[in-house]
Structure 1
Amino acid sequence: MRALLPSLIVLTLAAGPALAQNATPASPGSGTMTNSSNGAVNGSGNAGSNVNASGTVNVLAMTALEKGANSFTEGQAKSRISSAGFTDVSDLKKDDQGIWRGTATRGGKQEQIGFDYKGNIGAQ
């Protein structure tokens, strides 16, 4: 009986951290996670994302873009801007504030566009 009590304590303590985990890999080595409320992990976007409830992208004023360390590559920024309805996305360059800036066409009109570290798209 004396050996049983310490064994139960050890098993209980060892099981605690395993039960606290809620994100599991989608497939080994894929790097994607499931069952997470973190938008950056589950692919639903970032906190502060500009995707509205209907699933379409809100295009903000250029002044609403936020400066910060932007980890999006040029290709990722171009893809996100294109999926928001812009065509002919070109001349993308990351400025000293971390905002990708360039030009694109929307509704037949060429516009200056920006893409910040949160995934927000701005146009004017």
Structure 2
Amino acid sequence: MKIALALCTALASSGAVYAQTAPTTPNPETPAVTTPDTANPTAPVAGENSFTEAQAKSRIEDKGYSNVADLKLGEDGIWRAKADKGGAMVEVALDYQGNITEGAK
């Protein structure tokens, strides 16, 4: 009995007996990045972009822009273009998270 107690004490003090559990999220379907209709203050966010040119143009147009022109994917992974918004030409950017921002950055 003394040997078993000594062994348990040694294992407990070494940390070998403590179990580790991963934290759980309330909703396992929650995506890693969500920026639905909220403004991301750091947008556009640089990163590897998986949007095709057609998808990028479509997303920009879906946000109310028209006449999307000079659409180019930068080395930082941000799609940039010129587009018409309310009769004025503006510069727009689309990052890998789907954030669309106006102005050159």
Question: Does TM, scored on the shorter chain, surpass 0.5?
Answer: yes
The aligned length equals: 76
2:51 aligned residue: 72
How far apart in 1 are the matches of 2:95 and 2:36?
11
> SS where residue 77 of structure 1 aligns?
helix
Shift of 1:102: 0.9
Q: Does 1:48 align with 2:34?
A: yes
What amino acid is aligned across from residue 35 of structure 2 in structure 1? Answer: S
How far apart in 2 are the matches of 1:115 and 1:91?
13
How far apart in 2 are the matches of 1:70 and 1:123?
18
Shift of 1:38: 4.5
What amino acid is aligned across from residue 90 of structure 2 in structure 1? Answer: E
What amino acid is aligned across from residue 101 of structure 2 in structure 1? Answer: G
How far apart in 2 are the matches of 1:79 and 1:122?
15
2:29 aligned residue: 37
Shift of 1:49: 1.9
> SS where residue 64 of structure 1 aligns?
coil
What amino acid is aligned across from residue 51 of structure 1 in structure 2? Answer: D
TM-score, reference length from structure 1:
0.54
Answer with 1 or 2: which has the greater Rg: 2
- For residues 66-95 of structure 1, the C-alpha deviation after alignment (integer angstroms, 9 at most, x for no partner) is 000000000001000000000001111000
Output the aligned Cα RMSD.
2.2
Out of 90, 93, 97, which is 1:111 matched to?
90
Percent identity, aligned pairs only, is 41
- Structure 2, unaligned stretches of length 5 or more? 1-27
- Structure 1, unaligned stretches of length 5 or more? 1-35, 40-45, 53-57
TM-score, reference length from structure 2:
0.63
